[in-house]
Structure 1
Amino acid sequence: MIKVLITEDKRLIGEGFKFIIESDEEINVVGLALNGYEALEMCKIHKPDLVLMDLKMPCCDGIEGTKLIKSFSANIKVLVLTTFDDDEMVSAALKNGADGYILKDINAEKLISTIKGTVEGLNVIDENVYQNIVNKFNQPDNQKPEYALTDREIKLIELVVYGKSNKEIAANLNITEGRVKNIITSILSKLGLSDRTSLAVYAVKNKYINKRFESDNVL
């Protein structure tokens, strides 16, 4: 059973998400928090698999709430709920460890599949917000930056983009999981990036893979 904590300051909206999510027999909503502080305390009690996190909330917004929860437990997935024009806040949430982001007008079926995909380790990204963030990169569309990435690093980046876990990457490249973590850390440092999601966006933007996106995207 997947345990989900909803963090939304408008209780009626939160109850609506709860009703939709619990229509799937594999998911249980363990609580409804009204801000990031409440979400953290509920995470300590209920140990959810995923937090559905609104961005704009009083007292403690989704950016800070994500940071608090990830500091408490990196294993808890945080899926950000956003609107089309929130890309600056989304970027900040990603830097704090958010595992993906979706628009609030997502349909019920897609919401449930997104929750399951995120819990399984996929980085789920809404196309419209994704494009806004990609546009903030200043590299020309058809020019890769001149960084000395090895063939193994480029292959690893491709596997990250396609949502592979460290274990799956290790098996694919015939190396240890510890080595995978070290290579990813090295790549992030080399490219001046903060996390796997920003690496995936960067890789697509700079043509390291030939992937095109439709509607909502699973990286």
Structure 2
Amino acid sequence: MIKVLVVDDQSLIREGLRMMLSLYDNILLVGEATNGKEALQALEENEVDLVLMDIRMPLMDGVEATKRIKEKYPNIKVLILTTFKEDEYIFEGLINGADGYILKDISSEDLAKAIETVYKGNVLLQPEIAKKVMGAIKGISAKDEKEDLRNELTKREYEIALLVSEGKTNKEISQILFITEGTVKNHISNILDKLDLKDRTQLALRMKKL
């Protein structure tokens, strides 16, 4: 029997989840809370295996509540309920230890499967949410790569690399930066050596990925 605590500030959502969970013999609703603070209190009073957690709530939101739950009760699973409007919280919630994310319009059958999956120790992300998470990860990776590149190249080299990615010729770059074409050529040679690239085409492609 999987003991579940439902945390959501909207009574209609809690009622809907209550009805959905009642359809399954292997899932037992042991408590309800309207915010993160109440959830922490409920965990002190009830034996809980999994928390169905809303994100946007007064007093303490789901992201902060997840962090505190995982710090105090590392074995309790947290499955977060979300909407597309709350996707900015998804990555933060995962960092804080959430075991999965599901959309609030999930069917009762898929909800039961999600609870079972997370209860068994697996991380669950519905396809729609997984796309957003991957997008966030790619964004962070690109940001890190850009920062690494700034540290690896001098300020002037970075400026020239950007202009190369815009398709500027050595002559155009020299006119923009008020330096000689020979200086531009030397800088590009240094950039290619530092980044282990063969030519300016590879450099342009590398910069466009940022």
Q: Aligned partners of 1:25, 1:133: CA distance in 2, in Å? A: 33
Q: Aligned partners of 2:122, 2:116: CA distance in 1, in Å? A: 9
Q: Aligned partners of 1:69, 1:44: CA distance in 2, in Å? A: 11
Contact preservation (8 Å) 1:85, 1:129? no
Structure 2 gap segments, 5+ residues each: 143-210
Tell me by how many angstroms 1:122 deviates: 1.1
Residue by residue over 1:144-181, the C-alpha shift from the partner in whole angstroms, topping out at 9 and shown as x without a partner, is: xxxxxxxxxxxxxxxxxxxxxxxxxxxxxxxxxxxxxx
Alignment partner of 1:106 is 2:106: yes
TM-score (norm 1): 0.62
Aligned CA-pair RMSD: 1.2
Residues 1:85 and 1:129: Cα distance change in structure 2 (over 3 Å): farther
Tell me by how many angstroms 1:135 deviates: 1.4
TM-score (norm 2): 0.64
Tell me by how many angstroms 1:68 deviates: 1.3
Contact preservation (8 Å) 1:7, 1:34? yes
Which one-letter code corresponds to 1:13 in the other structure? I
Alignment partner of 1:127 is 2:127: yes
* 2:90 alignment counterpart: 90
Q: Aligned partners of 1:88, 1:74: CA distance in 2, in Å? A: 24
Alignment partner of 1:34 is 2:34: yes
Q: Aligned partners of 2:70, 2:47: CA distance in 1, in Å? A: 12
Query: More relative contact order in 1 or in 2 (CA 8 Å, sep 6+)?
Result: 1
Q: Aligned partners of 2:73, 2:113: CA distance in 1, in Å? A: 23
Q: Aligned partners of 2:12, 2:87: CA distance in 1, in Å? A: 25
Which one-letter code corresponds to 1:47 in the other structure? E
Calculate percent identity across the aligned residue pairs: 44
Q: Aligned partners of 1:38, 1:59: CA distance in 2, in Å? A: 9
* 2:18 alignment counterpart: 18
Tell me by how many angstroms 1:47 deviates: 2.4
Which one-letter code corresponds to 2:99 in the other structure? D
Q: Which has the larger radius of gyration?
A: 2
Which one is further off, 41-50 or 1-10? 41-50
Tell me by how many angstroms 1:127 deviates: 1.1
Which one-letter code corresponds to 1:90 in the other structure? I
Residues 1:133 and 1:85: Cα distance change in structure 2 (over 3 Å): farther
Tell me by how many angstroms 1:6 deviates: 0.1
Tell me by how many angstroms 1:85 deviates: 3.0
Tell me by how many angstroms 1:12 deviates: 2.0
Q: Aligned partners of 2:52, 2:14: CA distance in 1, in Å? A: 10
Which one-letter code corresponds to 1:15 in the other structure? E
* 2:73 alignment counterpart: 73
Which one-letter code corresponds to 1:26 in the other structure? N
Q: Aligned partners of 1:12, 1:63: CA distance in 2, in Å? A: 21
Residue by residue over 1:29-54, the C-alpha shift from the partner in whole angstroms, topping out at 9 and shown as x without a partner, is: 01110000100111111121000000
Q: Aligned partners of 2:116, 2:132: CA distance in 1, in Å? A: 25
After TM superposition, the runs of 4+ consecutive aligned structure 1 residues lying more than 2 A away are none
User: Secondary structure at 2:45's aligned position in 1?
Assistant: helix
Structure number with the higher helix fraction is 2
Structure 1 gap segments, 5+ residues each: 141-219
